[in-house]
Amino acid sequence: MENRIERFQNRHIGIISTRIAGTDGVSLEIEKWAAVLEKEGFTCFYFAGELDRPAERSYPVAEAHFMHPDVQDIYISCFDVEIRTRETTDKLHRIKNHLKDHLESFVNQFKIGMLLIENALTIPLNLPLGVALTEFIMETGMPTIAHHHDFFWERDRFTNNAVADYLSLAFPPNLPSILHVVINSHAGAQLSLRTGISPLVCPNVMDFARPPAPPDAYAADVRQSLNLAQDELLILQPTRVVQRKGIEHAIELVHRLGRKAKLIISHASGDEGYDYELRLREYSKLMGVNTLFVSDIINEHRGTTSDGRKIYTLEDIYPHADLVTYPSTFEGFGNAFLEAVYFRKPVVVNNYSIYHKDIKPKGFQVIEIDGYVTGDAVLQANRILEDAALRKRMVDHNFELGRRFFSYEVLESQLKAFMMVHRKGAS
């Protein structure tokens, strides 16, 4: 008990995920949580298979990444099958033990007093890491916040598997020293129903107290780089090319607007394949929509491509957008929605379940569709694009709601509550 109290009183927090780099939703939320935690006097250290955090506070382990060849082999051998081999089990445990050794070294090297685990105990792309974390926490009693962005049962790709034992054990584990945090109320209800765990709900946030600055000289030529004519609209789809993003609805909307426009899709498909992108390219041709896939020139850092083109951040692109499309059929929360609100852009939103339950009741003004594009949605979008005063009233209203419900200050108050819960448990 004394060891646990001593560990908790140490204000070094170890943040763990498979990847802490780039502009994926989990990495972005890690950055926000770290900013708030460090404001509160904590120091954050990072453990992952890929890291872009300060080297002096980073502990990279190749096998922690879900793209590591051995980890991928385990994944392929365990999903879309019903029986796994002894060799797969042995390999899983060998890598698990390797990761546990490094977790121990990480904690000792940086004198970690608490762990913050980001999605590594929910999505089983890296089975050995999830099992290693579960055993390490069980064996040490380390105070832990497990921050869950989505769960394996929400994705069809994990349905058929030969690892029900490990999924029950570690995705997520029900351990007394873990405080579970989810990003929406539906996830909280499902977690309780399936595991008996009672989580806390903490939505994603943006730093509304610090509104975005106007585009600087570097970002002034975004429209030219995208070959947009002066009278051409920039309609931004700020997501990965993944089927659940519903991008075909954005293509249809742009077609039906009847305006000169380009649809700009910011991110690549990532680990979920390229078939959907091919479908979108075909559909864009069919609908006569000029759709640009520009993930090669959008990154977390400015720079230059191998052929000499400028690389922009997503923050460079947003100010130039005339309209944001977010027609997702499913989301854990809705980072792109908050980004549109933060950058004061009108947004088209599909009425996905989490939006309907956790966001819509707050009173945001959006162009809403419900599974398909309607004539009314098209009329509303055109009216907002034409009427600058109406558009300003809408985006200013949304920004104030974002500041009220989804700001860093909201996260700060919730993190203080989380710490009080753990302090009480440690004493």
DSSP conformation letters of 297-329 = GB-SS-EE-TTS-EEB-HHHHGGG-SEEEE--S
Summarize the confidence of residues 123-149 as an average pLDDT. 96
Summarize the confidence of residues 379-397 as an average pLDDT. 98
Q: What is the structure's pLDDT at 418?
A: 74
**Residue 185 and residue 198 in contact, taking contact as beta carbons nearer than 8 Å:** no
Q: Specify whether 50 is located in the same domain as 166.
A: yes
Q: Specify whether 401 is located in the same domain as 418.
A: no
Q: Specify whether 19 is located in the same domain as 163.
A: yes
Q: Specify whether 255 is located in the same domain as 192.
A: no
Tokens (6 digits) for 280? 């979108």
Please indicate, yes or no, if residue 210 is contained in any of the structural domains: no
Nearby residues of 344 by Cβ (< 8 Å), 6 or more positions away: 395, 396, 398, 399
Summarize the confidence of residues 217-229 as an average pLDDT. 96
Tokens (6 digits) for 308? 């000499």
Tokens (6 digits) for 404? 């009220």
Please indicate, yes or no, if residue 290 is contained in any of the structural domains: yes
Q: What is the structure's pLDDT at 156?
A: 87
Band of pLDDT at residue 155, cut at 50, 70 and 90: confident
DSSP conformation letters of 235-297 = EEE-S-S-GGG-HHHHHHHHHHHTS-EEEEE-S--GGG-SHHHHHHHHHHHHHT-EEEE-GGG
Q: Specify whether 317 is located in the same domain as 268.
A: yes
Please indicate, yes or no, if residue 413 is contained in any of the structural domains: yes
Round the average pLDDT of the chain to a whole number and report it.
Answer: 93
Q: Specify whether 201 is located in the same domain as 230.
A: no
Please indicate, yes or no, if residue 377 is contained in any of the structural domains: yes
pTM of the prediction? 0.84
pLDDT at 427 over 70: no
Which pLDDT tens digit goes with each residue over 56-93?
999 999 999 999 999 999 999 999 999 999 999 999 99
Q: Specify whether 331 is located in the same domain as 293.
A: yes
Please indicate, yes or no, if residue 292 is contained in any of the structural domains: yes
Percent of the chain as helix, strand, coil, to the nearest 5:
50, 15, 35
Q: What is the structure's pLDDT at 301?
A: 87
Please indicate, yes or no, if residue 254 is contained in any of the structural domains: yes
Please indicate, yes or no, if residue 161 is contained in any of the structural domains: yes
Q: What is the structure's pLDDT at 8?
A: 53
Which pLDDT tens digit goes with each residue over 2-30?
454 455 566 899 999 999 998 788 888 99
Dist. CA 183–CA 333, nearest whole Å? 6
The CATH number covering residue 57 comes to 3.40.50.2000
Mean pLDDT lowest among 7-11, 35-39, 132-136: 7-11
DSSP lists the bridge partners of residue 79 as: 161
The number of folded domains in the chain is 2
Q: Note down the domain range covering 139.
A: 2-205+408-426
CA torsion angle 3 415 412 328 (round to 10): 140
Q: Residue 398: left if φ>0, alpha if ψ -120 to 50, beta else—which one? A: alpha
Q: Specify whether 49 is located in the same domain as 197.
A: yes
Q: Specify whether 104 is located in the same domain as 122.
A: yes
Band of pLDDT at residue 1, cut at 50, 70 and 90: very low
Band of pLDDT at residue 206, cut at 50, 70 and 90: very high
> Residue for token digits 């709900």?
201
Q: What is the structure's pLDDT at 425?
A: 55
Q: What is the structure's pLDDT at 2?
A: 41
Q: What is the structure's pLDDT at 95?
A: 98
Q: What is the structure's pLDDT at 269?
A: 81
| Residue whose C-alpha is closest to residue 304's, from 314, 316, 296, 293 | 296
Q: Specify whether 415 is located in the same domain as 353.
A: no
Q: What is the structure's pLDDT at 272?
A: 65
Summarize the confidence of residues 228-255 as an average pLDDT. 96
Summarize the confidence of residues 385-408 as an average pLDDT. 97
Q: Specify whether 168 is located in the same domain as 34.
A: yes
Please indicate, yes or no, if residue 212 is contained in any of the structural domains: no
Q: Specify whether 55 is located in the same domain as 93.
A: yes
**Residue 14 and residue 116 in contact, taking contact as beta carbons nearer than 8 Å:** yes
**CA geometry: angle 162, 164, 168, nearest 5 deg:** 155
Summarize the confidence of residues 133-151 as an average pLDDT. 95
